[in-house]
Amino acid sequence: MKMSFHNPVLFKELKLRFRSPKSFVGIFFYLAAMCVFVFGFIFTTMSLTGVSYFRPTESMLLFAFLAFIQLGLVLFITPGLTAGAISSEREKQTLPILLTTSQSSFQIILGKLLSSVAFLMLLTVAALPVYSLVFLFGGISPMDFVRIFFFLFVTLLAIGSIGILFSTLIRRTIVSMIATYGMMLFLSVVTGFLLIIVLQVTRLNFTGVGPLPTSIVGHVLASINPAVLFATILSPAMGESIAEMTQVKFPVWIGYLIFYLSITVISLWLAVKKLRVNMKRFK
C-alpha cells in the first residue's frame, strides 16, 4: 500500500507536469474543439433532416464519433507522453541519481507511467460534461458510457506500459518513440488490415456448403484491435457479425481484456527488471 499512495516520483512528476500553464491551455483547446464538434454535428444533422429536434439514433452516432475521437487521442498521444519517461532521464544524466534514491524500481516505473498518463486521464474526465450533452437527447445507456471509458482506460494503460518498456530498453528518446508508435500502429491499423485479409481468404475458401470454416486467427485479430472492440461495444450487431464470420463464439471484449492486461503486466515487469540491469554488473 505504501508503494501505491506514497510515491515521490509520481508526486514530483505530477507537480512538474501540471505546474506549467501549457497543460491547462491544452485542456481548454481540447474541450473547445469537442464542443465545436458536438454543436456543429447537432446543427448540421438538424439542417440536413429538416427537423427542429435531435433524434436518439443520431445521438448514438454522435456518441460513436466522440468515442472514436477519444480512442484516437489515447492511441496517438500516449506514446508521446510515455516513450521518453526513462530515456529522457538517461539523456539528461539524471537517471543514476534517481536510481541511488531509496525508491524501488517498481516505484520509479509506476510513478513515471501514472504521471505520464495522468494528463490523458484528465482530458478524458474533463470531457464528461461534453458527453452529458449526448444523454440529453437519449439513445445512450449509462452502461455504454461506462464500457467505453473502462476500455479507454485499459487501452491507455497498455499503450503507456509499452512506451515505458521501450523507454527503459532504448537509450534514445526518438528511437523509443518511433518503436512505441510502431507498436501502436501495428495494434490499431495492421491488425485491422490483416483481419480484412483473413476474412476475405476464409470466404474465398468457402465452398458454399455448410457453415463458414472456423477462423481463430481472424477472431484473435479482431480481439486485439481497439477500433473493432469499440465498434462491437457501440453496435452489438457488429460483435454477432464477427462471431458469424469467424465461427468463434468467444466474446471479443474478453479477449481484448486478457490481451491488453497481459501486455500491461508483462511490459511493466520487464521495465522493472531492466531498469537497473547495468548496475548489477558492478555488484
Segment 202-219 shows an average pLDDT of: 76
Name which residue leads in pLDDT, 96 or 230.
Answer: 230
Segment 175-190 shows an average pLDDT of: 93
Q: Is the pLDDT of residue 221 over 80?
A: yes
CA distance linking residue 245 with residue 237, whole number of Å = 12
pLDDT digits (tens, 9 = 90+) for 55-78: 666 778 888 888 888 898 889 888
Question: Which of 8-12, 22-26, 37-41, 79-83 ranks highest by mean pLDDT?
Answer: 79-83
Of 131, 155, 154, nearest in space to 142 by CA? 131
Please provide the average confidence, as pLDDT, over all residues in the chain.
83
pLDDT band at residue 51, thresholds of 50, 70 and 90? low
CA distance linking residue 35 with residue 31, whole number of Å = 6
Name which residue leads in pLDDT, 277 or 235.
Answer: 235
Phi, psi angle pair for 148, to nearest 5°? -60, -45
pLDDT of residue 164: 93
User: What's the angle, vertex CA 17, arms to CA 12 and CA 23, rounded to 5?
Assistant: 160
CA distance linking residue 84 with residue 32, whole number of Å = 28
Segment 171-190 shows an average pLDDT of: 92
CA distance linking residue 101 with residue 17, whole number of Å = 21
pLDDT of residue 281: 43
CA distance linking residue 75 with residue 70, whole number of Å = 9
Phi, psi angle pair for 244, to nearest 5°? -70, -40
pLDDT of residue 188: 92
The residue type at 49: T
Which of these ranges, 83-92, 128-137, 241-250, has the smallest mean pLDDT? 128-137
The percentage of residues in the chain with a pLDDT greater than 90, rounded to a whole number, is 26
Report the b/e string of 68-93 with b at 16+ CB within 10 A.
bebbebbbebbbebbbbbbbbbbeee
3-class DSSP state for residue 81?
helix
Q: What is the pTM of this model?
A: 0.86
pLDDT digits (tens, 9 = 90+) for 119-165: 888 888 888 888 777 777 666 777 888 888 899 999 999 999 999 99
